[in-house]
Amino acid sequence: MSTVVEKQSAANPFQAPRTAQNARRKASNIVIIFFSLLATAFAVTVLLYLLLYVLRSGLPYINVALFTRIPTPNGEPGGGLANSIQGSLILVGLASLFGIPLGLFTGIYLSEFGRGPIATGVRFLVDVLTGIPTIIFGLFAWIFIVVPQQSFSGLAGGVALGIIMIPIVARTSEEVLRLVPKELREASLALGATESRTILQVVIPAARNGIITGIVLAMARVAGETAPLLMTAFGSPFFNSDITQPMDALPLRIFNFAESPYQAQINQAYAGSLVLIVLILLTSFAIRWATGGFKQQR
Amino acid sequence: MLGGGSRRLSDTLFRGFTLLLVLFVLVIIAGVTWVLVSNSLPTIRQFGWSFLSNRAFDPIHNVFGVAPAIFGTLVTSAFAIFFAVPIGVGTAIFLVDFCPRPLRMPLAFIVELLAAVPSVIYGLFGFLVLAPWLQTVGQPWLQKYLGFLPFFQGQFHGLGLLAAGMILVIMVLPLITSVSREVILTTPTAQREALLALGATRWEVIRHAVLPYARIGITGGVILALGRALGETMAVTMVIGNQASPIGPSLFNTGYTLSSVIANQFGEATPGLFFSAVIEAGLLVFMITLITNIIARILIYRMGRVGGLAA
């Protein structure tokens, strides 16, 4: 490109002169747009490829037995993952019993009572907690419950998962409780309601949907956790509803079967992954839909 | 007045109950720290700093060190950050600045779904699909065309540092994208419009108005992603090979990370030094991720309130 300013652009006085420098600027603009498009395409392609691959490999092995039978001894075809699904439900239930109240009340504290440096500190700690690898909480439950009991147990798994739920529930509840208009609280207080009654009967009901969203999000998150269960719930090839005994979980079973030498078990690992992924994606969609996230434009 | 008194009592009770539960959460955090530190003491006393530099993790001779694990952790995380930062920030820029309006929310949602996929499924995919592909296609290709680089030499195992790094790229990508997107969105419109009015191209607006403003927040997001990469357990354990190779630059080598040491060794850990060594590996992961997360949060807080980061 030469540096000659072409006269054609004089027709439009707002048109930048076509110098080599401007050509370069335009070129780099296009390069960047193209690169950012490519980056987005990469992320989207990876997700779609992963989903389609799991769908293709898992779908043929989705059958009634998968949800009603327990695994067969080494590699024999047939059987299912019913015990893992049962275990996952129990573990997520235990975690919720433990994690939801602690998370919710931490959220209430941060939004309603938390002022000053202590609240800032608590908020900061809770945020930092979300970034700690989940296996650390597994180690904690292992040392704290499994080692003294001398037995892996569903209880230990539930405690580990519960701790992981706390910061998620706490931060989402805090955010939605803060969104409740001040006028609503003042109206309640003006009618003579006490502070605790205002929070329990006015503020929390107003934020109910958001709080439920946070809870569901946290449950979906821990339903897919594997690492902290390795050393706590441990896994079991049988139905077990005794929380003091080792308990299976869907992600644990996927982990064990993925590295199995038997094709039948690998197929079931794919089928289990499909079940897990569909559950988690449906939850994500439902949450997005419920919170109007698809319409939001910024 | 009696009514007034009981009102205050119920408020006090409610407040007290709330504070009690918050206190319980704090006790749990302190308890995690205390349990890790106190159970690591035997190996800390026995080996001191040499635990970090010792290459053997040898229960038979009761000698424990995590140098190869630290090496594996750093290499895979560095690889992940190196590739995920340009892709993640590029995606964020596209989503905020270039993407057609109706596609913005759906695409942002799809990228965030990457974070919702459980890590064991990434591990399954890495172990059954990515690693075999690397062994038969990817690594021979890399060696043929880039084999002059020290990174692409040695035997094709499939499983190894390269596979772990690649899976981590995908896993930390949504984190970098969502944090970057949120901070880019907080750039004042006036700042963008001022540059546009001066005749800047879209990229120049981003380069000179948006990125300098969002830099601190994006850095926070990157460090948050680094923390996740440093601590990721399942996916990495399934694809990294879990065998120490001699420490060298080749990404074809197998290896292990601090978290994968825990996942692989806790089952055999006999009471005593072995047990303590596994816990100390956990303590190291805990401290490293604690520090990275504290730095990341401070940087993100400096950007003001950025929501939606809890998950």
Q: For A28-40, what is the mean pLDDT?
A: 93
**Predicted local confidence at residue A292, as pLDDT:** 66
pLDDT for position A230: 94
pLDDT of residue B93: 93
Percent of chain A exceeding pLDDT 70 equals: 92
Q: Which of B93, B128, B185 sits opposite A36 (nearest CB)?
A: B93
Its ipTM equals 0.90
pLDDT digits (tens, 9 = 90+) for A126-162: 999 999 999 999 999 999 999 999 999 999 999 999 9
At A203, the pLDDT band (50, 70, 90 cuts) reads very high
Q: Looking at CA atoms only, how far is residue B64 from chain A in angstroms? A: 19
Q: Which residues of chain A does B173 touch, with a Cβ-Cβ cutoff of 8 Å? A: 43, 46
Neighbour-count burial of A70, counting CB atoms closer than 10 A to its CB (0-12 exposed, 13-18 middle, 19+ buried): middle
Q: Residue with structure tokens 């075809």?
A: A77
pLDDT surpasses 70 at A9? no
| DSSP collapsed to 3 states, A101-114 | HHHHHHHHHHHHHC
Q: Which residues in chain A are contacts of B31 at CB distance < 8 A?
A: 140, 144
Q: Longest Cα pair distance anywhere in chain B, in angstroms?
A: 88
Interatomic CA distance for residues B150 and B165, integer angstroms: 16
Min mean pLDDT across A34-43, A94-103, A116-125, B245-254 is at: B245-254
The arrangement of secondary structure in A64-296, i.e. its CATH architecture, is: Orthogonal Bundle (1.10)
User: Is A12 a residue whose pLDDT tops 80?
Assistant: no
Considering Cα of A92, then A237, then A250, then B276, what sign does the dihedral take?
A: positive
| A14: CB partners within 8 A, 6+ apart | none
Distances in whole angstroms, Cα of residue A141 to Cα of each of A229, A256, B166, B183, B296: 9, 21, 31, 36, 27
Give the residue among A110, A202, A219 at the shortest CA–CA distance from A161. A219
Write the DSSP symbol of residue B304.
-
Confidence of residue A1 (pLDDT cuts 50, 70, 90): very low
Q: What is the pLDDT of residues A79-113, one digit of tens each?
A: 889 999 999 999 999 999 999 999 999 999 999 98
> Residue A197 corresponds to which tokens in the numbers above?
């009654």
**Confidence (pLDDT) at B55:** 87
A125 to B26: CB separation less than 8 angstroms, yes or no: yes
Residues of A within 8 A of B132 (CB-CB) are: none
Residue A15 pLDDT = 67
Query: Which residues from chain B sit within 8 angstroms of residue A9, using beta carbons?
Result: none
d(CA A248, CA B142): 41
Query: What mean pLDDT is reported for chain A?
Result: 89
Residue B6 pLDDT: 54
B84–chain A Cβ distance below 8 A for any pair: no
What pLDDT score does A223 carry?
95
Q: Consecutive sets of 10 residues in chain B, 311 residues long: mean pLDDT of each?
A: 57 92 95 95 92 88 90 95 96 92 88 90 96 94 89 88 95 93 89 90 90 91 94 94 81 91 89 91 95 91 57 34
Q: What is the separation, in whole angstroms, between the first and last Cα of chain A?
A: 40
3-state secondary structure string across A21-46: HHHHHHHHHHHHHHHHHHHHHHHHHH
State residue A11's pLDDT score: 58
CA B304 distance to own-chain centroid: 23
